[in-house]
Structure 1
Amino acid sequence: MKVFVAGANGQIGRHIMKLLKDSDDYTGIAMVRSKEQAEAFSEKGMEAVLADLEGSVDELAEAMKGCDAVVFTAGSGGHTGADKTLLIDLDGAVKTVEAAELANVNRFIMVSAFQANNRENWNEKIKHYYAAKHYADKALLQSGLTYTIVRPGGLVNEPGTGKVSAGEKTERDIIPREDVAKAVVACLKEEHTHNKSFDLVSGDTPIEEALKRI
């Protein structure tokens, strides 16, 4: 299975690309913005394509042509303004959904944010970010794609445990980025996650088992 990863050069994205490379079942295609980034992936034995989330839908569709699934884990980052959040986390995500439809890539996994679906639980300090995630997710929900929306809790760089809690959560908690990546890759083969959205935090249940319970 060829998996197009938007946001491959981000912290979760790099974990996802490594997991795909180490698997016999997948080929990861890293979507990057610069030749330097593409060369960095190539040096590690990974495929990369040049594309820009601020570019056109047609360009994104061309970049993902021939892939079997799309993972969107891109973000403008915490150091940019609300304008970049709208352009990347919202419009970039929506364009990626539109591109997947155009390129006939039916499987789409979105990395969202904890409780982005529930306005009452948005973080007041970064409400614009949650609004972007909320409406990007809604665009995916309203598409004709076979979707999975993963809404991780507070992201940390601790080593993953391989154990999570998945479902509709109300209490905020943390989760290692490595475990988010593992869950995303596990969703690729777990049909029970098709057309499902769920929060994801650290827990006591092995990832594969947790995904079967959502």
Structure 2
Amino acid sequence: MRVLVIGANGQIGRHVVRMLGLSPEHEVNAMIRKEEQRKDMEELGADHITIGDLEQDFSHAYNGMDAVIFTAGSGGHTSKEQTEVIDRKAAQQAVDEARKSDVTRFVMISSIMADEAESAPDNIKHYMQAKLAADEHLIESGLVYTIIRPGPLTNDAARGTIHAVKKLDNYDGSVPREDVAATAVNSLTLKETENVIFEMMTGDVPVGEALKNLK
């Protein structure tokens, strides 16, 4: 599968590129914003590297692609304006470009509790609203989608085990970015994750097994 990674130079994105680069069943196209990021992508194992800016036309990145993993984001503490540009508009544009290019598989890294955006604290409400709008746009697109809503992210080493359900009943905890990346990569080829939204935290079940038993 030829996979476009949008947000390849981000903290989750770099793990995604490395994991796809190690997989014989995938060919990874890392979309980066700056030429000086190219060497890092090459070292991570990217098969192809595309320069693309989410604030400009990035349709060229889709040439020949089968799937997209969207892991770009402005973060919960950036301005409302930048959140609107990246987390809502660019994410929606990424979905639209996938439809135009006959990409059929789209994995979106969203945020836990995005579906409760209106009740989020004021300082992150705009972020949650943008994430929800992007998720809803993907759902309505007709693409085969997976929407992953991880809990608070850490840079801890991957455990390789997660807790993944369609709706968590407890929001205590966190999850390493590396495990989120592994979840996204595994989701590409698992029927059980097609047209599914789920939340995740660190847990005790191996990633693949957790995804095959989503409830």
The match for 1:48 is 49
- Distance in 1 (CA, whole Å) between partners of 2:169 and 2:8 is 29
The match for 2:35 is 35
1:128 to 126, 129, 132: 126
Query: Secondary structure of the equivalent of 1:17?
Result: helix
TM-superposed deviation, 1:77? 3.1
Structure 2: runs of 5 or more not aligned: none
- Distance in 2 (CA, whole Å) between partners of 1:118 and 1:170 is 13
Q: CA RMSD in A?
A: 1.4
Query: Does 1:143 find its partner at 2:141?
Result: yes
Query: Secondary structure of the equivalent of 2:65?
Result: coil
TM-superposed deviation, 1:122? 2.9
TM-superposed deviation, 1:11? 0.1
Contact 2:18 2:44 in 1 (8 A): no
Query: Secondary structure of the equivalent of 2:102?
Result: coil
Query: Does 1:164 find its partner at 2:165?
Result: no
- Distance in 2 (CA, whole Å) between partners of 1:123 and 1:198 is 22
- Distance in 1 (CA, whole Å) between partners of 2:186 and 2:158 is 14
The match for 1:23 is 23
- Distance in 2 (CA, whole Å) between partners of 1:153 and 1:106 is 27
Contact 2:55 2:86 in 1 (8 A): yes
The aligned length equals 211
Return structure 1 stretches of 4+ with deviation > 4 angstroms: none
- Distance in 1 (CA, whole Å) between partners of 2:150 and 2:30 is 21
Query: Secondary structure of the equivalent of 2:72?
Result: coil
5 Å-filtered alignment, 1:1-214, equals 1-46=1-46, 47-56=48-57, 60-78=58-76, 80-119=78-117, 122-167=120-165, 168-172=167-171, 173-214=173-214
- Distance in 2 (CA, whole Å) between partners of 1:9 and 1:178 is 14
TM-score by length of 1: 0.94
Contact 1:61 1:102 in 2 (8 A): no
Query: Secondary structure of the equivalent of 1:30?
Result: strand
Seen in structure 2, the aligned counterparts of structure 1 residues 94 and 25 have a Cα distance that, compared at 3 Å, is same
Query: Secondary structure of the equivalent of 1:189?
Result: coil
TM-superposed deviation, 1:36? 1.0
TM-score by length of 2: 0.93
Structure 2 residue identity aligned to 1:52: D
Residue identity over aligned pairs, in percent, reads 43
Structure 1 residue identity aligned to 2:176: P
Structure 1: runs of 5 or more not aligned: none
1:99-124 Cα distance to aligned partner (Å, 9 max, x none): 00011111000000002122366344
Query: Secondary structure of the equivalent of 1:139?
Result: helix
- Distance in 1 (CA, whole Å) between partners of 2:6 and 2:178 is 17
